[in-house]
Structure 1
């Protein structure tokens, strides 16, 4: 595994004096756990083949992701074979398993050194999904952890549906087990930032084990909830590229990592300049196209059209950009449309080596504003100039 240490991205974030109020930074390292290949692949209609899974894993590995969840080996022989191949070249691979011997044996067979054990612990899941009592679930947990430990596996344990689990039962489980990390999934995305902060603070009262969080986006709060959990003391986040995942998806890796640097003044091992490239590959492999206005990696994330905004950006990008797109290897775009002003036209033309008088630019702008299409591409702009 490559370790990049504490990267300094401070110059890329244009934060105000109030941005970090309410959070006392200790400049800690946050671990990044990527589950694009497991929970991300559970997006309806998404299925990565072996080559795609290997390529994504290698890209994540090279980008500095601490732990990569490569899949669920008990799902199929093909899944197991794929994970085994990934493990051959990478040493930070994790595999998912339910709390039963067969699943654990499949993880061992896949050559993964890290196992992510999970079982539902909320009353509604235990009754309607598992048909088990609390005692039976607890017994499955302890037996599975003992069995995985006896085979030398590093253990991450998740009480599924943790945020709807009775706190006394959760305390009983967490206080009774010895694992490297306990992950707390907000399985159906019911938390808000304040409740997540309270929840993680409560967990810290009865464990010193590493705390990870796994947030779903059913209310559009996955990134905010992840950030709140980290602020409360969790030191690992489970994320996916582009935020893909079941239903409304998971917390987005690129959003959370950006927020860690922007708001927490903490650091990760992530090479942020690699994220846009990975996002593009996952988009192509999954067929799930991020919305244009999605933070960080959306087509419009660093695009500017309104005349006042463009004028500010040209003079100083910090006027209308909280993040410098260069940190992700992205170029900002000046878009020409009905909201554009003279500054945008002049800027684009001069970047193409074309110089026009103010009167000529006024004429060009009039033609553009009278056009039905909402945006103007460079080809049409050049055609207008030729006609002029």
Structure 2
């Protein structure tokens, strides 16, 4: 106790006692946490009520994996599509570069061509980084292209170390450190992807490994980033939950016990248990500066943390968008659907076609009187998407006019009124549908088809 150092934590302004060192715990048999992860049972969430403090960093940001993890579950993007999406990400991130980085594959000529074209843009943000196989040849490729950072896979659970790599922990650590050292020798910043961290022995392997990484960082004076990969989506944000499932516990351990600074910690979540967004936000709250996302959550299995979700999480936590242009999210959604043929589920928050559509009659009545009653925020301002009222037997002629104006984004003199011939004729058709026994709301597709038919018949320029 007498030899442990007392130091001032400048983030909390409290004197703290230096923690004990955590050496590698080498084991002969893997610790796969059978008490939590019994394969023929649903995984368990256990608690020990050990609470760690909030530690929101001074600055937080988003990083992007749309072209790496987001591309592993869909047909590969063309080089032109990658460049177009990269342009959108640059605009979305705003002048402060809140979308800090984007990672790319380098395996094929198509991938490398896209990287070169994105680099030619000259954008400071998102910084172009890579994800490669952990070998010297690929490190040299990264250096040749001119990238300053690359991701390296360093799987950290005993599931991977024993069953996939067929190694012991000490062998895996030695292997990983040699790979990271090779990367540092080329002058490139390594980003260590700690795969499957939420099933790993945090204090028996992860913390000792990260301590050694920090030693290498000091030796080479090159930053080493730690990506906290919740590969299977097992992470939880509940206070007092036990590690390795506790995201607050993992972030705390990395900062306090491994000495990893917040700006070098990045969370990468998957959505297997519907927790990707909450776990990403929790990582910010407990000390990680970065959260890694993909557009619309497209990624392996159930997907990654949706990037657009974290834009709005950022604004809710910080009270400002810090220059992010959220209208670009709608442009991206339209690009994915029209140009890439990607179907966004209609109920998807912020981007699904029904996310701000009111169907219930009583809700529609309230929305028409004051849209704040049933709209999450000014969606017209932030997403170029005014709220819609679906058309049914309770909509009335005013509701039909409102639907046309909002769906077609008509402004000023171009707007239709209750007296417009198109609206009057459409109202007659709607009434007939419900007079004949219909009970469901009319779909956008049905309404558009009927509007086109009426416009052609009545020679209305619409």
Match of 1:117 in 2: 152
Aligned twin of 2:64: 34
Cα pair 1:48 1:285 within 8 Å, conserved: no
Deviations 1:63-83 (A, max 9, x none): 22533434221x334323332
Distance in 1 separating the partners of 2:363 and 2:82: 41
1:89-108 map, 5 Å: 89-90=121-122, 91=124, 92-108=127-143
Maintained 8 Å contact 1:364/1:384: no
2:322 and 2:272 map into 1 onto residues whose CA distance is: 26
What CA RMSD, in Å, does the superposition of the two structures yield over aligned residues?
A: 3.2
Partner residue of 1:133?
168
Higher relative contact order (CA 8 A, sep 6+): 1
Name the residue aligned to 1:67.
100
CA distance in 2, matches of 1:26, 1:316: 36
Matches within 5 A, 1:1-388: 28-43=58-73, 45-64=74-93, 66-73=99-106, 75-90=107-122, 91=124, 92-168=127-203, 169-177=205-213, 178=217, 179-194=223-238, 195-206=246-257, 207-209=259-261, 210=263, 211-263=265-317, 265=319, 267=321, 270-284=324-338, 286-325=340-379, 326-338=381-393, 340=395, 344-345=399-400, 347-348=402-403, 351-355=415-419, 366-370=431-435, 372=438, 374-375=441-442, 377=447, 380=450
Once the two structures are TM-superposed, the CA of residue 54 in structure 1 deviates from its matched residue by 1.6
The 3-state SS of whatever aligns with 1:212 is strand
Write the distance in 1 (CA, Å) between the matches of 2:183 and 2:75. 30
The corresponding residue for 1:19 is none
On the 8 A contact 1:116/1:157 being kept in 2, the answer is yes
Matched residue SS, 1:336: coil
SS of equivalent to 1:355: coil
Deviation at 1:319, TM superposition (A): 0.9
Q: Distance in 2 between matches of 1:202 and 1:276?
A: 38
Alpha-carbon offset, residue 374 of structure 1: 3.6
Aligned-pair distance for 1:276?
1.5
Q: 1:129 to 1:106 in 2, by over 3 A?
A: farther
Max radius of gyration: which structure? Answer: 2
After TM superposition, the score normalised by the length of structure 2 is 0.69
Shift of 1:265: 3.5
Of 278-287 and 47-56, deviating more is 278-287
> Match of 2:132, SS?
strand
CA contact (8 A) 1:279 1:297 kept: yes
Aligned to 1:98, what secondary structure does the other structure show? coil
Q: Is the 8 A contact 1:122 1:165 kept in 2?
A: yes
Deviation at 1:295, TM superposition (A): 0.6
8 Å contact from structure 2 (residues 202, 250) kept in 1:
no
C-alpha deviations, 1:256-298, integer Å up to 9, x for none?
1112212454655632221221233234555431100001100
In structure 2, C-alpha distance between the alignment counterparts of 1:128 and 1:107, rounded to whole Å: 30
Return the offset for 1:346.
5.8
Structure 1 contact 27–267 (Cα < 8 Å) conserved: no
Tell me, what secondary structure is at the counterpart of 1:108? helix
Whole-Å Cα distance in 1 between the matches of residues 231 and 292 of structure 2? Answer: 12
In structure 2, the CA distance between the partners of 1:220 and 1:26, relative to structure 1 (3 Å rule), is closer
Whether contact under 8 Å (1:231, 1:264) holds in the other structure is no
> Hey, what does 1:6 align to over in structure 2?
none
In the superposition, relative to structure 1, how do residues 157 and 349 fare at CA in structure 2: closer, same or farther (>3 Å)?
A: closer
Give the count of matched residue pairs: 361
Inter-partner Cα distance in structure 2 for 1:47 and 1:188 = 23
Could you report, residue by residue, the CA deviation over 1:7-26 in whole angstroms, capped at 9, with x for unpaired residues? xxxxxxxxxxxxxxxx9796
